[in-house]
Amino acid sequence: MADSDDKTPLSWAADKGHHAVIKHLIGVKADVNAKTVVGWTPLHYATQSASETIIKCLLPYADANAVAKDGTTPLVAASKRGNVDMVRRLLDVGYDINRRDMRRWTQLHWVTKSGPDRLAVAKALLSSDPKPDLGIENVNGLTPLRLEVWEKQLDLVELLLESEARLTRNVGTKDWLRVYSHVSDPSPIIEVEERVGEGTKVVCLSAKDFSEDQRRFPTSTSSVSRRLLIFTEPLKELPTIPNSPPLPDSEPSQHMMPYLHRQSLLSGGVHFTFAVYFPSFSQLTSTTMRRTTEGSMMMIRWIVAKQPYAGSRTGESWKSVNHFSTLPNGLIPDDGVDFFTQFLDQLRTRWIRSCEDGEELLADSEAVLNGLPGIIREFADLIGARLEGLNAKSQDLIQTEFNVTSIAEAKHSTSTNNSMNA
């Protein structure tokens, strides 16, 4: 027996929180997994009543992984309600933590919709056994981390970063700026750190508060194993590196010639710099009749130092530990080769953009040249009108001067006649 939506008495009882009715219906062998027209089971509805007693009553008989037509499972429904206790109980009975709905959202994707209790729900999910797969992408290509970044859920972002260090691979500079938009500085410096036993930590620093100490590379006793500093504004010159010899006087050329430099650090590491200066052309228009060329630097720097092997293995190996970048990547590179590959990818993008700017500049220049005859005529007409106005004013001035002279002569003549008659 069910209503027009195929909602059975057991589903109604679970929805309204009637424990005694549920016990009776289960006792008379009512279908515990009967679905409505939208695919919800009594367990789905029980998550809405927020009654742990009802959940306990249903779980021994119900399918915890039942999927509605829209992909919603009882755990998804409980998470959206922000019911942490119910989430834990569903996890305890063997819920598939990595199940995807029709949009390929996992439970961790749905956490962003869990309201004020989302952080507690996320912690419950992350502590489950087996652990959730944090790298699953939904239909839009977003992992749980990238979705939380997009939603500006800073508390969830930091929790996910603590859980798995390599989650930054698909996150770019713009993503970090989005979630850390509370930093008022228009050109902040983003610091991404891998911490020993603590996952990844991201800090958005104000440029004016950025101290030289922040640029020191990690040591074997540091809690920070590797670091990436991202300069979000174009650089006009290479930043200095503390505790290192001064760079040579030569800087990246403004003619787009690559600059490569290698030097040994006083602390025993090796420091590499690769940079290319790119011009940036402003629009050439018929009104300004000029163009200016400015530029910015695309730069990567990394420091290689001896670091202890991870785990139980003894000894040391050379690792890239400190990275400086103007690239849009928000990922700490695996090593110098990975970093240089990122640089080449971005170099190609910037080169194509520069070529497009050049084509646009040539098109604007051609338009200006084609418009020169008209501009010259307008200029000539303007000068002609100015000259005519100046000529008229000059004639008026000459006439005024003539009139004044005539009056003065007339007065002088009158005065002379009066004197002679006297």
Determine which of 62-66, 176-180, 210-214 has the lowest per-residue pLDDT on average: 210-214
Determine the straight-line distance between the first and last CA of the chain, rounded to whole angstroms.
Answer: 143
Taking residue 95's Cβ as centre, other Cβ atoms within 10 Å add up to 21
pLDDT tens-digit map of 321-336: 888 888 888 888 888 8
Interval 131-155 mean pLDDT: 87
Per-residue model confidence (pLDDT) at position 407: 61
pLDDT tens-digit map of 386-408: 556 556 655 665 566 556 556 65
Q: Which two tokens stand for residue 195?
A: 């911490």
Predicted confidence band of residue 212 (pLDDT cuts 50, 70, 90):
very low
Q: Are 298 and 275 in contact (CB under 8 A)?
A: yes
pLDDT tens-digit map of 298-321: 888 888 887 776 666 777 778 888
State phi, psi for 115 to the nearest 5 degrees.
70, -155
Distance CA 252, CA 248 (A): 11
Which pTM does this prediction carry? 0.66
The residues with which 235 forms a beta bridge, in sequence order, are 297
Taking Cα atoms as reference points, which of 194, 148, 174 lies closest to residue 328? 174
Distance CA 14, CA 43 (A): 7
Q: Which residue has the higher pLDDT, 137 or 187?
A: 137
- DSSP assignment string, 94-157: T--TT---TT---HHHHGGGSGGGHHHHHHHHHTSSSPP-TT---TTS--HHHHHHHTT-HHHH
**pLDDT above 70 coverage of the chain, percent:** 64
Q: Which residue has the higher pLDDT, 255 or 128?
A: 128
Over the chain, what is the mean pLDDT?
Answer: 75
Interval 10-36 mean pLDDT: 89
State phi, psi for 287 to the nearest 5 degrees.
-90, -40
Q: How far is the CA of 224 from the CAs of 167, 200, 272, in angstroms?
A: 17, 9, 20
Residue with tokens 């059975």: 8
